[in-house]
Amino acid sequence: MSRSFHVAVVGATGAVGIEMLKTLENRNFPVGKLTPLASARSAGKKLKFRGEDITVQELTENSFSGIDIALFSAGGSVSKQFAPIAAKAGCVVVDNSSAFRMDPNVPLVVPEINAEDIKAHKGIIANPNCTTAITLMALYPMHQAFGVKRIFASSYQAVSGTGVKALLELQNQVEQIVTGKPVKIEVYPHQIAFNVLPHIDAWLDNGYTKEEMKMENEGRKIMHLPSFKASVTCVRVPVYRAHSIAVSAEFEKPVSVEGAREAILKAPGIDLMDDPQNNVYPLPLAVTGKYNCQVGRIRKDCAFDNGLCFWVAGDQLLKGAALNAVQIAEELAKIW
């Protein structure tokens, strides 16, 4: 990385946007100039980057002249409107929304798995769904060892995946319950404090939600495995940050716990935390703020042959979003 880059962060004042700025700084990405972009109501705010105050600019169609890389995290409608404009201006977009993930002309990338796909970009590269990315960090090394066929999974997703308002709702509801006040429900359809909601994203005709189908659809594309099947139930839990997923996976080849552990130990971006007898296993609190995901509770599946069960956790604002986007930018920088 001998040259430096003019980098824009679109949605810079949001939860993921702020993490993108921190990650660019913490990983010493060669930012020659930084341009934070956001809606008109956020324009003029100051954000810290490398110890300096940088003024947020309003996102417009003319925002991308001279920008090399734009990290987008401002929602699907903003991405659909502005990502093609940015690409046309000669900027490479790394988009965190679901807008382009299943577009056959747009690479969908987890750098530890399919960094090579970045080379085929036509101006836009997609970041995967957070739960998909975290799950695949553990599943893909096992797939390389044994050849995955299908998974059954349940996610335990933190409220920060919904945004800042959801964080405040959980905090406020806990306080309301503890002090005996009426519980206010605004962000979720039901109380989230001391509760779990088997409902993330919009419902589809098949009875699954959009979030649940992302694991199968995006997993196939990232792993280059069109036969991959995933039956998933996504659950919102009263945790502030970091997602966890319980996975039962069926493989083509005979499996072993030892082989799975060896595959994980060799894999980048995932730590083995697997000593249940001493209460060592992945926890949302333990992965919060960490770049690496963690996997544990690896065991033979009782329900079918060639099956393994495991529990994986990761910070969905980092590996599930900001970190993955910056890692894609790092790969771009290598081939620029």
Predicted pLDDT of residue 164: 86
User: How many whole angstroms separate alpha carbon 75 and alpha carbon 95?
Assistant: 9
User: In the annotation, is 243 catalytic?
Assistant: yes
CA distances for 80 relative to 36, 99, 306, angstroms? 19, 6, 42
Catalytic hit among 121, 143, 234, 243: 243
Helix (H) or strand (E) run with residue 314 in it: strand 307-314
Predicted pLDDT of residue 55: 98
CA distances for 15 relative to 50, 135, 229, angstroms? 18, 21, 32
Task: Work out the number of other CB atoms within 10 angstroms of the CB of residue 125.
Answer: 24
Residue intervals in the chain for CATH 3.30.360.10: 132-316
pLDDT band at 8 (very low <50, low <70, confident <90, very high): very high
User: How many whole angstroms separate alpha carbon 40 and alpha carbon 320?
Assistant: 27
Residue intervals in the chain for CATH 3.40.50.720: 5-128+321-335
Q: What percentage of the chain reaches a pLDDT higher than 70?
A: 99
Predicted pLDDT of residue 35: 98
Q: What percentage of the chain reaches a pLDDT higher than 90?
A: 98
On average, the pLDDT of the chain sits at: 97
- CATH no. of 132-316: 3.30.360.10
Tens-place pLDDT, residues 130-187: 999 999 999 999 999 999 999 999 999 999 999 889 999 999 999 999 999 999 999 9
- CATH no. of 5-128+321-335: 3.40.50.720
pLDDT band at 214 (very low <50, low <70, confident <90, very high): very high
pLDDT exceeds cutoff 70 at 250: yes
- Asked if residues 311 and 245 have their Cβ atoms less than 8 Å apart, the reply is yes
Tens-place pLDDT, residues 37-70: 999 999 999 999 999 999 999 999 999 999 999 9
Query: What six digits make up the tokens of 331?
Result: 């790969």
pLDDT exceeds cutoff 60 at 300: yes
Catalytic hit among 130, 143, 234, 293: 130
* C-alpha 18 chain-centroid distance: 15
Q: Indicate the pTM of the whole model.
A: 0.97
User: How many whole angstroms separate alpha carbon 324 and alpha carbon 277?
Assistant: 33
pLDDT band at 1 (very low <50, low <70, confident <90, very high): very low
pLDDT band at 123 (very low <50, low <70, confident <90, very high): very high
pLDDT exceeds cutoff 90 at 2: no
